[in-house]
Amino acid sequence: MGNSEATEKINEIKEAGGEGLSAKLKELEDRVAKIEEKDGNLTLILMSGEFDKAMAAFIIANGALAMGKEVTIFVTFWGLDVIKKPAFSTAGRKFLEKMVLWMRPKGPDKIPTSKMNFAGIGPKLFRYMMGKKNVEKLGSLIEMAQEFGLKIIACQMSMDVMGLRKEDMIDGIEVGGVAVMLNKSYKSNSTLFI
Amino acid sequence: MAKTELDFKGMSCPMPIMKTAMAFKKAASGDIVEVVCDDPGFEPDIRAWCNETGNVLDSIEKKDKDIVATIIKK
């Protein structure tokens, strides 16, 4: 190898190395950004329509919001009972949809407990005991979380099955499907199914 | 540097933390917030909250049933 040939080779390697390095650096920066984007964000999937489980979900949501995190609750199936308005007209729904809507409780003040429900006496007892201990009501936990920026996404498919419409739900919610939920979940550090 | 005193006595989880977070939204960097709360869960909770948010827990002391936390906004 002649001298000029070697210099050429070295320059070639240097150039390739330089470019390779900056490309590598760019790739690493992108990956770090992707990790930092998650930064403790939380996704909750609320499948349950029971008072105790909904309490847990919204207390966790509020806590994470207080820590400055982005929180999303994807509400599906029985969970929809939790975010219904206390009263809405079922006009224009099919017979079976009307039946389901009539049989299901509406909103945080009406939902049962998962244990010790005793045909509706249990929830009254727990709400009374929680009131005595100054535990915030489920309804106001939901409102507060929304004020803090909680994103509530109601499952389109479950709403369709039960004949529920967006206007039957509390204000400020969005409607979406599994891809929306997964997209949020992949951008979170933790996802809980309740 | 402003100093705010907050009384969260009688509240239970998650309210003291929520109210603290609300107060910190309004505060400026270096502001001091003093929180009084009688919920026994408040002590570990405010420690965890500070640890996560990066705000500085300057002091925490018990006075009878009350817990007094002094926090400096980062």
Residue B24: which CATH number? 3.30.110.40
Cβ contacts of A101 within 8 Å, gap of 6 or more = A90, A93, A162, A163, A164
Stretch (H or E) spanning A28: helix A3-38
Contact A59 B14 (CB under 8 A): yes
Burial class of B9 by CB neighbour count within 10 A (0 to 12, 13 to 18, 19+): middle
Q: For position A180, what pLDDT does the model report?
A: 93
Integer angstrom CA distances of residue A152 from A169, A173, B67: 11, 5, 34
Is the minimum CB–CB distance between B36 and chain A shorter than 8 Å? no
Residues of chain B with pLDDT under 70: none
Residue type, A6: A
Catalytic hit among B13, B18, B21, B22 = B13
Whether A65 and chain B come into contact, CB under 8 Å, resolves to yes
| Cβ under 8 Å to B: A residues 94-153 | 133-136, 141, 144, 148
Q: Is the pLDDT of residue A88 over 80?
A: yes
Report the number of distinct structural domains present in chain B: 1
Q: Which residue from A minimizes the CA distance to B55?
A: A67
Q: How many CB atoms lie within 10 A of CB A94?
A: 10
Task: Answer yes or no: is the ipTM higher than 0.90.
Answer: no
Mean pLDDT across the stretch A33-59?
92
Q: Does B14 touch chain A (CB under 8 A)?
A: yes
Interchain CB contact of B1 with A (< 8 Å): no
Residue A144, pLDDT > 90, answer yes
C-alpha dihedral, A138 to B15 to A59 to A101, nearest 10°: 10
Closest to A41 in 3D by CA, of B14, B15, B48, B52: B52
State the Cα angle at B14 between A86 and B41, rounded to 5°.
145
User: Nearest 5 degrees, angle CA A125-CA B41-CA A145?
Assistant: 70
Pull the structure tokens for residue A85.
């308005």
Q: Which class would CATH give A39-193? A: alpha beta
Residue A134 vs residue A13, higher pLDDT: A134
CB within 8 Å: A67 and B53: yes
Q: Which of B10, B11, B17 sits opposite A63 (nearest CB)?
A: B17
Task: For A58, name the nearest residue in chain B, comparing CA atoms only.
Answer: B14
Is the model's pLDDT at A143 over the cut of 60? yes
The mean of the pLDDT values for chain A is: 90
Q: Is residue B13 among the annotated active site residues?
A: yes
Confidence tier at A36 by pLDDT (50, 70, 90): confident
Tally of CB atoms within 10 A around A171: 9
CA distance B39 to chain A (A): 10
Three-state SS annotation for B13-46: CCHHHHHHHHHHHHCCCCCEEEEEECCCCHHHHH
Which residue ranges make up each domain of chain A? Answer: 1-38, 39-193
Structural domain of B36: 3-72
For position B28, what pLDDT does the model report? 93
Nearest residue, CB atoms, B14 vs list A40, A63, A134: A63
What are the pLDDT digits (tens) for A99-123? 889 889 999 999 999 999 888 898 8
Query: From the CB of residue A122, how many other CB atoms can be counted at a distance below 10 Å?
Result: 17
- In the β-sheet with B3-7, what is the strand arrangement from edge to edge? B3-7, B32-37, B66-72, B56-63
